[in-house]
Amino acid sequence: MPASNFLSIGRVFLRTWPYLKPLVWHIVLWVCLQLASFTTSGLAVVLVQDILNNKIMLGHPLEPGQATLLLLDERYVETAELTQEQRIVVRDRFILAVALGVLLNTLVLQLIVLHYYFTWITQQLNQRLRVAMIERAERVSLRYHSHARTGDAIYRIYQDSNTITAVVDTVILDPINITARCLTALFILWLFSPWLGLIGVLATVPILAIAAWYTPRLQRLSRQARQAASDLTSRIQEAFAGIRVVKANQAEQALLARFDADSRRALDAALRLRLEIILLWMAILAVGGGGILLADYLMAGWTMSEENTWLAGMVTLVGFAVWNLGAYQAASGRSAEYSDWSRGLIAKWTHMLDMAVGLERAFRLLDGEVDVEESANPVAVPRPIHEVAFREVSFSYQPGTPVLTGVDLVAKAGTVTALVGATGAGKTTLMSLLLRLYDPDSGTISLNGTDLRDIGIEDLRGNIAIALQQNVLFAATVADNIGYAASVRGTAATRDEIEAAAHIACADEFIGSMAQGYDTELGERGGKLSAGQRQRLSIARAVLRDTPILILDEPTASLDAQTEQRLLRNLSEWGIGRVVFLITHRLSTIQGADRIAFLEHGRFVETGDHETLVAMPDGRYRSFVEAEVAGAREAS
């Protein structure tokens, strides 16, 4: 396998260090406890086998260390053979010691302490990465979100980020634990015979070579599987988000067919990856099985000839000075254990490859470009705001495709400015620039002459309220939805403030007719309300923020004429001393504005009040008005 593959995998895992660092001492402590448990367990298994097979069953004298462990005196050591009574005492002490060891090690240490402790460590780790990803997603360029599917971002944050929990387990702890178990088993085999240790080492070399050869292929298939699963998540998200449109257009079968195709692709990709892992395992099992057969052949011969074990004179606790049935079983068990744990390391490696792909996808979101940067020394929003000025502002989402070109506009406090133009002319983009969701490619936007880039982003957005055409409501009460903006700032709006905002937005009438009024629970996305009702709640939410700048995107698109006129009068009275922007196509809404700015091909080609612009013989606004009037006549 190319060294670059190892380096790329290593770089991905190294990037987890900032999230691991706060938990490093917890991880070290867990490893120490686990190693102590594994080492003790490994030696205890051999000890148990010797005492059971040779001492209790055959009456051989205890080793000094065994007698000390069972709290027995030298009479059980300095004898040619244990008496029947002594064997019963050893048996009883042995059963008690084993029960106590199982209780302390398996139940208390492994299940209660280590398992719970490990779960706490990994979930703390996952929490840190998910929060970092959400924070980055909030700051990353909107260009990223405009091209990325929502379901893909959800999958990265929820599923791909979850792979970091396995970093502690699969990348750090398990390899250490498995390596320790392998070395313990290999050491015990070496005590029996150096040939057994050599066979174990030689069998490991081709296993590692096979795993290295398979690595690039497994990486590629893992990327395909995760991308297919991400596409499936996106399809699910899109299906539920657009369920009304699907039902209205009788597109259920088409949606089902697309979902079925995406689901099959995800399943096929996952199965291809699993098939390759199975083929890898078949090759490794063949090599490992050959090593075990050779070791068993040698051990069977030594047992038949009752040869001495290699370090018979040095063995005091483990026992088995001579190759007998008990020694054969103990050594054979360690040989199988070494083979199993060696294959376990390869299993962890295949898991690590998939994890590296998942983390790479998660970190790609963290690496997303942040277009809007906070000033090193931000200044406060000037108060009071007298004007909002756009000077030679140009902007494009894609290089070479300008949306705004040299835009100039000044909006004064106490005025309502209507932004008018064809769909896609750049009206919403202009307001996005005012909110610093993007920064202009050139030119400046200023408040009282202070460039927005010099103002703190949080302070700027805290002084601008916006009611969007796509009204986003939550599964909460009416009051909670209106007071949402105040609650996210850490302050709670009073009921009087909520009701006052609802009155200005002409929402108080339909709220009063609800069964529980302002305490009525709304369905998800306000599904229980009409489009006009949702729109008025969105406007009430913006009004409640009581900011010096208000942006209304198609505020009356779903309202009847009478409600529209009442709402505009209320907003006109409420907006005294504020800068209000209207983005609208409705002529009745436009006429109530103090100033109209007509946007065409990325520029304001005409500005003025309704009467002035309509009086221009060949004016673009006049053509717009005539087209609107003609369309209204045809519709009626």
pLDDT interval class at 316 (50, 70, 90):
very low
Render pLDDT for 548-557 as a digit per residue (tens, 0 to 9). 998 888 777 7
Cα(67)–Cα(46) distance, integer angstroms: 15
Supply the pLDDT for residue 73.
81
> Does residue 322 register a pLDDT over 70?
no
Placement of tokens 């290999």 in the chain: 186
Mean pLDDT computed over 555-561: 75
CB neighbours of residue 164 within 10 Å: 26
**Structure tokens given for 110:** 């492994």
Which H or E element spans position 416?
Answer: strand 415-421
Supply the pLDDT for residue 462.
84
Mean pLDDT computed over 439-465: 88
> Does residue 517 register a pLDDT over 80?
yes
Render pLDDT for 72-100 as a digit per residue (tens, 0 to 9). 888 887 788 888 888 888 788 878 877 78
**DSSP helix/strand/coil, 572:** helix
CA angle centred on 520, ends 519 and 521, rounded to 5°: 110
Mean pLDDT lowest among 156-165, 174-183, 415-424 = 156-165
pLDDT interval class at 375 (50, 70, 90):
confident
For residue 466, what are the β-bridge partners? Answer: 551
Supply the pLDDT for residue 446.
92
What's the Cα-to-Cα distance from 100 to each of 47, 317, 322, 615, rounded to whole Å? 15, 19, 29, 99
> Does residue 266 register a pLDDT over 70?
yes
**Structure tokens given for 352:** 């690590």
Placement of tokens 């002319």 in the chain: 425
Q: What are phi and psi of 497, to 5 degrees?
A: -65, -40
Mean pLDDT computed over 419-447: 86
Render pLDDT for 193-205 as a digit per residue (tens, 0 to 9). 778 778 877 877 8
> Does residue 6 register a pLDDT over 50?
yes
Cα(292)–Cα(297) distance, integer angstroms: 9
The percent of residues in the chain predicted with pLDDT above 70, rounded, is: 76
Supply the pLDDT for residue 75.
83
pLDDT interval class at 390 (50, 70, 90):
very high
For residue 417, what are the β-bridge partners? Answer: 581, 595
Supply the pLDDT for residue 144.
46
How far apart, in Å, do the first and last CA atoms of the chain sit? Answer: 73
Q: What are phi and psi of 248, to 5 degrees?
A: -65, -30
pLDDT interval class at 162 (50, 70, 90):
low
CB neighbours of residue 316 within 10 Å: 11
pLDDT interval class at 290 (50, 70, 90):
confident
DSSP 379: B
For residue 445, what are the β-bridge partners? Answer: 390
Render pLDDT for 237-262 as a digit per residue (tens, 0 to 9). 667 666 666 666 666 787 778 878 88
Mean pLDDT computed over 109-130: 73
> Does residue 624 register a pLDDT over 60?
yes
Render pLDDT for 468-513 as a digit per residue (tens, 0 to 9). 766 677 777 888 888 886 665 556 778 888 889 889 888 888 888 8
> Does residue 539 register a pLDDT over 50?
yes
CA angle centred on 245, ends 239 and 246, rounded to 5°: 55
Instruction: Confirm if 540 and 517 have CB atoms less than 8 A apart.
Output: no
CA angle centred on 196, ends 285 and 193, rounded to 5°: 165
Supply the pLDDT for residue 293.
80
Supply the pLDDT for residue 352.
74
**Structure tokens given for 214:** 């398979």
Residue type, 528: K
Supply the pLDDT for residue 568.
82
Q: Name the average pLDDT for the chain.
A: 76
pTM above 0.85, yes or no: no
Mean pLDDT lowest among 62-66, 145-149, 178-182, 284-288 = 145-149
Placement of tokens 């009004």 in the chain: 543
Supply the pLDDT for residue 311.
62
pLDDT interval class at 444 (50, 70, 90):
very high
Cα(254)–Cα(306) distance, integer angstroms: 75
Supply the pLDDT for residue 252.
72
Cα(491)–Cα(589) distance, integer angstroms: 33
> Does residue 415 register a pLDDT over 60?
yes
Q: In order of start, what are the domains of the chain with their CATH numbers?
A: 3-365 (1.20.1560.10), 382-456+549-636 (3.40.50.300), 464-546 (3.40.50.300)
Mean pLDDT computed over 211-221: 81
Supply the pLDDT for residue 168.
65
Supply the pLDDT for residue 122.
75
Residues 6+ apart with CB under 8 A from 102: none
